[in-house]
Amino acid sequence: MSDRQDDRRQVPWTLLLLGGSSTLIAAAIAALIAIVLLLLLGGKSIADQQACTPGSPASSPAAMSTVGRGSIPAQFIPLYVASAERFGLGPEGWLWLAAIHKVETDQNRNVNTSSAGAQGPMQFMPGTWAAYGIDADGDGRADIQNTADAIHSAGKYLAASGAPGDWHKAVFAYNHAEWYYQRVLRHQTAYRGTGQDPAPDAVALPAQGAATTPASEAPQTGAALDIARTRQGQVAYAVADAQGQIITAERGDQAFPSASLTKAMLLVARLRRLSTRPIPAAVTAQLEPMITRSDNTAANRIWAQLTRKDLLELARAAGMQRFQLRTDDPVYRLGNSRITAADQARFFAQLGTLIPAPHRTYALRLLARIVPAQRWGIWDAGIPEPISGKGGWRPDPGGFTTNQAAQISLAGQVRGIAILTQGPGESYGHETIRLIAQALAAANPTGVQAAPGSDCAPAGALSTGGDIATVAGPRAQLTPDGKAVAPQEAPAQVKAILAAGNRIVGRPYVYGGGHGPPLTTAVAAYDCSSAISYILHQAGLFPSTTAWVSGTFARQYGQPGAGTWVTLQANDGHIYMYVAGLRWDTHRWGAADRGVPGNGWHTAQRPDTGFTARHPPGL
């Protein structure tokens, strides 16, 4: 059964050659890009390439930090470097392009036409594109929606606007706002690994207020704990009941930078200032973008209407124990504040009592109306809506900070959940939060069995507390209805693969199905490569948000050869994989196979002649 052929023009690695007539560039550039791509693509090497820099001498591009390696999609690095070299943007020019791409469309994760009419991966206005748009991939046209064309055109525009001599002027020309320059600068600084933690202007919260359960004494939840301890970087989580008592936690008292998560506190503090008075239209006009779009300018204006006392009194009312208020962040004033998962879980669990009664419904609905681009993590964990929550994210010297907290309902009971991370990149943090939230919801740390008809087995039937049943030993088993049962000895990510596969077992095979929609949610039908893309993405093992075709897996995914727990077999026409002894495939192979037709798990193996074996690193 064959996969669809990708009808989109593939951007070749040879775009590293772009820049006019071919001349030799310093060997250091080819070596550095090869090393960077080796790090990012799990060992994949590229051939030494030539490039040229018209009008300026060649110079080695600046190296990037751990945050950059974990955050910048590998396929874009050659485009940034080639554009910077082509237009003489200097050694750090490619980092500025990466940072602008991040701010504009989250590096192609959120490409839409803006309300002002800006379009494409680098958000060009059509008039500007008419003057600066170029054909970088050689297809005969300058396409505002083409990533290669857009990145090279951005390099041309920045060079014309003052780069590299005056980056402030150049970036300001791209978007005439100081906050925009500061945001781009923050990402650029994090990518090159020279960011400094600002000196604190902090007010520590005295440990007083309502009696609360110390997070260090709270019980832990098996599957979530396994995930937290195997993910890269720092991870903390906590779940609190409606009275603010911690039910389960891991590192619940560890301090993290708040980023934008404190905007939920600003919302509640501002409404408490009003008490029972109506919300003025001018205040609503700031609260709504602050929460739904995480707008920093609006947040700073709300903060200007409050005092430290307002925030600290709110923290005490919520029973917070370790909140530290800082107001020294130049982009979002409270972004450097220090928070803990336990304190944020307490706060979100008690929103119903912390918010004045006349404004309670308004605030909870506002927190449930987060724009789609920011509804990651907890929203992707299969938890029933409404979810009233807020996220926060930013590059920091210790890693990319990605936080999220929300008020949710488990088995009819209100719970506050908070997951804080510092890891190698933003998308990695999204996956960490999703996996932990999914495990916490499946384990249902409330003392109540999971609701009948849900995808989760009753909590008492699970030996790990995860969202998949387990069995002793190293091999997965198959139930009569085609669902996988995970081996207890398997790593958490292997269990996550099996659980993700179970969610789409039996979905029909449709040629080309699942290609195009984001992999964050399941769709009605899949082909072989889109199903495996979805499963691996759900398990945090596939960074792309859209599906690959099978040939791309054969050449680029992970590491070559068979893995200990997971092995993909791929060629240009088909892909299947083995996970803990079960085969995920799109059709039966052998009469004795108990797997279901369409997409599903199978017990029988199949010949692998003509296929290339690859596996996720470490598995």
Tell me whether residue 392 is exposed, middle or buried, using C-beta atoms within 10 angstroms of its C-beta: 0 to 12, 13 to 18, 19 or more: buried
Q: Is 449 in contact with 411 (CB distance < 8 Å)?
A: yes
pLDDT in tens, 241-262: 888 888 888 888 899 999 999 9
Task: Answer for the pair 597, 543: CB distance below 8 angstroms, yes or no.
Answer: no
Instruction: Supply the pTM of this predicted model.
Output: 0.45
CA torsion sign for 556, 558, 562, 565 is: negative
Do residues 175 and 301 both lie within one domain? no
Residue 428 lies in a domain: yes
Residue 318 belongs to domain with CATH number: 3.40.710.10
Q: Is residue 203 part of a domain?
A: no
48 belongs to a structural domain: yes
Number of domains in the chain: 3
Q: Which of 244, 222, 128 is nearest to 176 (CA)?
A: 128
Does residue 92 lie in a domain region?
yes
Residues 403 and 324 occupy one common structural domain = yes
**Do residue 252 and residue 370 come from a single domain?**
yes
Q: Determine the Cα–Cα distance for residues 122 and 575; give it in Å rounded to an integer.
A: 33
Q: What CATH number has the domain bearing residue 131?
A: 1.10.530.10
Q: DSSP letter string over 97-155?
A: HHHHHHHHHTTTTS----TT--BTTTTB-HHHHHHH----SSSSS--TT-HHHHHHHHH
Q: What is the rounded (10 degree) CA torsion for 148, 154, 156, 158?
A: -160
Distance CA 501, CA 600 (A): 7
DSSP 360: H
Whole-number Cα distances in Å, 334 to 75, 246, 271, 326, 346: 34, 25, 18, 6, 19
Do 438 and 526 share a structural domain? Answer: no
User: How many whole angstroms separate alpha carbon 603 and alpha carbon 585?
Assistant: 10
Q: At what angle do helices 77-86 and 27-40 cross, to 10 degrees?
A: 160
Is residue 207 in some structural domain?
Answer: no
CATH no. for residue 606? 3.90.1720.10
- Is there a single domain that holds both residue 415 and residue 349? yes
pLDDT tens per residue, range 317-365: 998 989 999 999 989 999 999 999 999 999 999 998 899 988 988 999 8
Q: Are residues 315 and 421 in the same domain?
A: yes
Question: Which residue, 156, 172, 192, sits at the end of a domain?
Answer: 192
For helices 167-174 and 147-160, give the axis angle rounded to 10 degrees: 130
C-alpha span between 35 and 48 (Å, rounded): 11
Query: Do 537 and 439 lie in a common domain?
Result: no
Query: What stretches in the chain show pLDDT beneath 50?
Result: 1-59, 194-213, 216-219, 446-466, 588-596
CA distance 290 to 491: 39
Cα 493–Cα 495–Cα 498 angle in degrees, nearest 5 = 110
What distance separates the 2 farthest-apart alpha carbons in the chain? 73
H-state helical runs in 417-463: 426-443
Same structural domain for residues 181 and 304?
Answer: no
Measure the CA dihedral 405/410/413/418, to 10°. Answer: -20
Name residue, tokens 């009948």: 452
**Res 37: pLDDT:** 43
Instruction: Return the pLDDT at 561.
Output: 86
Task: Return all residues near 245 (Cβ < 8 A) that are at least 6 apart.
Answer: 212, 213
**522 and 576 together in one domain:** yes
User: Residue 306 is encoded by which pair of tokens?
Assistant: 């409050």
Half-sphere exposure of 141 (CA within 13 A, CB side): 5
Task: List the one residue out of 171, 193, 181 whose CA is nearest residue 330.
Answer: 181
Task: Please name which of 477, 435, 599, 605 lies closest in space to residue 533, comparing C-alpha atoms.
Answer: 599
Question: In whole angstroms, what is the distance from residue 370 CA to residue 375 CA?
Answer: 6
Residue 214 corresponds to which tokens in the numbers above? 């110390």
Task: Provide the pLDDT for residue 455.
Answer: 28
The secondary structure element, H or E, covering residue 303 is helix 296-303
Q: What is the separation of C-alpha 467 from the centre of its chain, rounded to a whole number of angstroms?
A: 21
Are 160 and 297 within one domain? no
Would you say residue 56 lies in a domain? yes
Which residue range is the domain that position 322 belongs to?
220-443
Inside any domain, residue 454:
no
| 374 is a domain residue | yes
Tell whether 402 and 338 lie within a shared domain: yes
- 477 and 379 inside one domain: no
Can you spell out the DSSP letters for 463-517?
SSSSSS-EESSSS-EE-TTS-EEEETTS-HHHHHHHHHHHHTTTPPB-TTTTSSS
pLDDT of residue 193: 57
Provide the β-strand partners of residue 237: 250, 419
Closest CA to 321 of 383, 255, 268: 255
